[in-house]
Amino acid sequence: MRKSLLTIAMFATVSGFAQSVQCSGTTKANTQCKQTVTNGTLCHHHDPNYIVKVEVATAICSGTTKANKPCKVKTKHTSGKCHHHRPKTNYYID
Protein backbone atom coordinates (compact mmCIF):
# COMPACT_ATOMS: atom_id res chain seq x y z
CA MET A 1 0.00 0.00 0.00
CA ARG A 2 2.78 2.40 0.94
CA LYS A 3 4.71 1.69 -2.29
CA SER A 4 1.68 2.44 -4.42
CA LEU A 5 1.10 5.75 -2.65
CA LEU A 6 4.74 6.71 -3.12
CA THR A 7 4.57 5.77 -6.79
CA ILE A 8 1.45 7.88 -7.32
CA ALA A 9 3.00 10.82 -5.47
CA MET A 10 6.20 10.61 -7.54
CA PHE A 11 4.26 10.41 -10.80
CA ALA A 12 2.16 13.43 -9.85
CA THR A 13 5.21 15.56 -9.07
CA VAL A 14 7.22 14.47 -12.13
CA SER A 15 4.34 14.96 -14.54
CA GLY A 16 3.88 18.51 -13.26
CA PHE A 17 7.33 19.58 -14.50
CA ALA A 18 6.94 18.67 -18.18
CA GLN A 19 4.07 20.67 -19.60
CA SER A 20 3.28 19.30 -23.04
CA VAL A 21 1.02 21.03 -25.54
CA GLN A 22 -0.22 20.07 -28.96
CA CYS A 23 1.70 21.39 -31.96
CA SER A 24 0.07 24.47 -33.51
CA GLY A 25 1.14 23.53 -37.07
CA THR A 26 -1.22 22.23 -39.76
CA THR A 27 -0.87 19.12 -41.90
CA LYS A 28 -1.28 18.80 -45.68
CA ALA A 29 -4.90 17.80 -45.06
CA ASN A 30 -5.36 21.18 -43.33
CA THR A 31 -5.91 19.63 -39.89
CA GLN A 32 -4.02 20.41 -36.69
CA CYS A 33 -0.84 18.42 -36.08
CA LYS A 34 -1.22 15.78 -33.36
CA GLN A 35 2.39 15.83 -32.12
CA THR A 36 2.95 16.99 -28.54
CA VAL A 37 5.75 19.43 -27.78
CA THR A 38 7.37 20.45 -24.50
CA ASN A 39 9.47 23.38 -25.77
CA GLY A 40 7.75 26.04 -27.86
CA THR A 41 4.61 25.58 -29.92
CA LEU A 42 5.85 23.73 -33.03
CA CYS A 43 7.09 20.15 -33.43
CA HIS A 44 10.25 19.30 -35.38
CA HIS A 45 8.24 18.78 -38.57
CA HIS A 46 6.78 22.29 -38.57
CA ASP A 47 9.60 24.29 -36.95
CA PRO A 48 11.62 26.03 -39.72
CA ASN A 49 14.59 26.56 -37.34
CA TYR A 50 14.94 22.87 -36.42
CA ILE A 51 18.43 21.53 -37.17
CA VAL A 52 18.84 17.84 -37.94
CA LYS A 53 21.78 16.27 -36.13
CA VAL A 54 24.13 14.68 -38.64
CA GLU A 55 25.21 11.21 -37.60
CA VAL A 56 28.80 10.35 -38.50
CA ALA A 57 29.10 6.99 -40.20
CA THR A 58 31.13 4.32 -38.43
CA ALA A 59 34.04 2.60 -40.12
CA ILE A 60 36.28 -0.30 -39.23
CA CYS A 61 39.73 0.78 -38.05
CA SER A 62 42.42 0.75 -40.73
CA GLY A 63 45.18 -0.15 -38.25
CA THR A 64 46.81 -3.54 -37.73
CA THR A 65 47.20 -5.52 -34.51
CA LYS A 66 50.43 -6.87 -33.02
CA ALA A 67 49.66 -10.19 -34.72
CA ASN A 68 49.72 -8.31 -38.06
CA LYS A 69 45.98 -8.80 -38.59
CA PRO A 70 43.48 -6.02 -39.39
CA CYS A 71 41.89 -4.29 -36.41
CA LYS A 72 38.16 -5.00 -36.01
CA VAL A 73 37.24 -2.04 -33.78
CA LYS A 74 34.66 0.38 -35.19
CA THR A 75 35.35 4.13 -35.03
CA LYS A 76 33.70 7.44 -35.90
CA HIS A 77 36.97 9.40 -35.88
CA THR A 78 37.83 11.30 -39.05
CA SER A 79 41.26 9.63 -39.30
CA GLY A 80 39.66 6.20 -39.73
CA LYS A 81 41.67 4.76 -36.84
CA CYS A 82 40.39 3.65 -33.43
CA HIS A 83 41.70 5.00 -30.13
CA HIS A 84 44.30 2.20 -30.00
CA HIS A 85 45.91 3.13 -33.32
CA ARG A 86 45.72 6.95 -33.30
CA PRO A 87 48.92 8.73 -32.23
CA LYS A 88 49.00 9.76 -28.59
CA THR A 89 48.76 13.50 -27.97
CA ASN A 90 50.39 15.34 -25.11
CA TYR A 91 47.74 17.35 -23.30
CA TYR A 92 50.07 18.61 -20.59
CA ILE A 93 52.14 21.72 -21.22
CA ASP A 94 55.41 21.91 -19.27
pTM of the model: 0.41
Report domain extents, the chain. 20-50, 54-86
Mean pLDDT of 1-5: 59
Identify the band that residue 3 occupies on the pLDDT scale cut at 50, 70 and 90.
low
Residue 63's Cβ-count burial label (10 Å; 0-12, 13-18, 19+) is: middle
Q: What is the pLDDT of residue 7?
A: 61
CB 62 within 8 A of CB 80: yes
Bridge partners, 64 (sequence order): 70
